[in-house]
Structure 1
Amino acid sequence: MSRALLTETERERIAGNSEDEQRRYEAVSRARRRIREELPEDIELLEEHHPTLYDELKSVVCDSREK
């Protein structure tokens, strides 16, 4: 299975399953960079070139939080 936003290791570190606070900080930093720098480009590309996938993404990210 491939990753979406976080690797399995990053998930574990962010969840606090690591004793190494520096590694946790690094995982958070990498996720923050992906959210701020890479995700907006992907969203824009999907919105323009594949609206169906864009709607699916929006549904997962936005609609699932409203429940």
Structure 2
Amino acid sequence: MQPENTGDMARRRAILTDRERELIASDDTEEKEYQYQAASRVRNKIHDELPTDIDILEENHPELLKELREVVCEDGG
């Protein structure tokens, strides 16, 4: 059985969910607490989940890891 709205399924996210993108980009001072929560979730993904993904790519698909590094480090870092 396929999902009804496959158009939304075609677009994938990277680190941020759509809502996290909205919150972090927002200047709305009434959403500051939600912005802090979103930043905390993203920080946890960076420190807790991303290293595991990098290890898996390094061991199983080094070319994808190279592509990831090129995107993340495109300023030469």
Count of equivalent residues:
65
Please identify which structure carries the higher helix content. 1
Partner of 2:49: 38
Matched, 1:14 2:20: no
Could you tell me which of 3, 28, 40 is aligned with 2:13? 3
How large is the Cα RMSD of the aligned pairs?
1.2
Structure 2 unaligned residues grouped into runs of 5+: 1-10
Could you tell me which of 25, 45, 48 is aligned with 2:59? 48
Q: Distance in 1 between matches of 2:39 and 2:33?
A: 10
Q: Distance in 1 between matches of 2:52 and 2:68?
A: 13
Q: Distance in 2 between matches of 1:36 and 1:65?
A: 21
Following superposition, which runs of at least 4 residues in structure 1 exceed 4 angstroms of deviation? Answer: none
Structure 1 unaligned residues grouped into runs of 5+: none
Q: TM-score, normalising length from structure 2?
A: 0.77
Task: Determine which structure has more spread, i.e. the larger CA radius of gyration.
Answer: 2
Identical amino acids, percent of aligned pairs: 49
